[in-house]
Amino acid sequence: MDNIRQRVPARPVRFLDALRLHMRNEGLAYTTERTYIQWIKRFIVFHKKRHPDEMGVPEVEHYLTHLSEERDCSVGTQRIVLNALVYLYSRFLDKPLEGLSFSQAKRPRRLPVVYSRAEIGAILSHLSGPSRLRVELLYGAGLRSAELLSLRVKDIDFGSNNIYVRSGKGNKDRTTILPQGLIPDLRRQIERVRILHEQDIVDGMGEVFLPDALARKSPNTAKELGWQYIFPASRVGPCPRTGVVRRHHLHPTALTKQIRQAVKAAGIHKPARAHAFRHSFATHLLESGYDLRTIQELLGHSDISITEIYTHVVNRGSKGVLSPMDSLNPGNDVREPSPLYLIAS
């Protein structure tokens, strides 16, 4: 249950508790909160556990330069750390960091890992039941792993063929496509959830974690089938906020392990990552002729420039570009290219 916000005192005494409360009042997503807290802790430890209020621009510059020159961090990582420290000083401590000068990270962001359609099929052939359904949803709907595991029964709309993604990255809601071929398996999975949920109620449990203040406003909602996770954990455990024994969703490490085993069994030598199925979803839609704006909306990207990275990994052969090598026959005679591949000058 590590994606449930831990309770902090209304009047916190500890520095990090006060910082967490400030982030929640500002409406930051819990993933952002955890990331910022993690890097702020590292910043404090790096400077021999000095209080942030006793430090400022020189210490921030020193740490950012250390990450670049000694830790060889990527541009993206350095930017996240900078954002965390700017939040700490500018918004929490009200001490804006002006005139920052530090060594910029040089390691560029890498192109995403993308599986071909044949590789997707090979991976799926080594999965079955709910394990296969999870990977099919990652690929078929372009979901992040956290979005997949957070899906509840009510988020699947069979009538409109939509999947509702609640509180995704950036704490935003969106809809994405519901693959038609997965509907029978999804209905069977929801039936499994119903049977498991009814047994939990018989055992004196059956409550699920509810977001925001819903548990206080409507306490009986926690036992409704619609709010149960589509992929529940195999065991129950105490909630970190209330101590109530509940059944949460499947842990991300279980999903990662299943994907790693399937990729290895399929004989694929690319990295085994859950996020690669989301990358493959976007790339294959682009290859099929869908426009970037549509793909951006399905993925939930705030900026289309983020979506544009998939233009660098799209299969160029299907977009009309023919390698000069492919115009040679075994006898090294140049053959005429097909009209399909002619490019206007």
Supply the residues annotated as catalytic. Answer: 144, 169, 275, 278, 301, 310
Residues 6+ apart with CB under 8 A from 146: 3, 31, 252
Query: In a 3-state reduction of DSSP, which class is residue 175?
Result: strand
Cα 260 to Cα 2, 131, 132, 324, 334, distances in angstroms: 22, 12, 13, 37, 44
Euclidean distance between CA atoms 131 and 255, whole angstroms? 8
Euclidean distance between CA atoms 182 and 136, whole angstroms? 8
The DSSP symbol for 61 reads H
Closest CA to 116 of 263, 16, 261: 263
The helix (H) or strand (E) run that includes residue 174 is strand 174-177
C-beta separation of 189 from 230 below 8 A:
yes
Task: Tell me the CA end-to-end span of the chain in Å, nearest whole number.
Answer: 58
Query: In a 3-state reduction of DSSP, which class is residue 272?
Result: coil
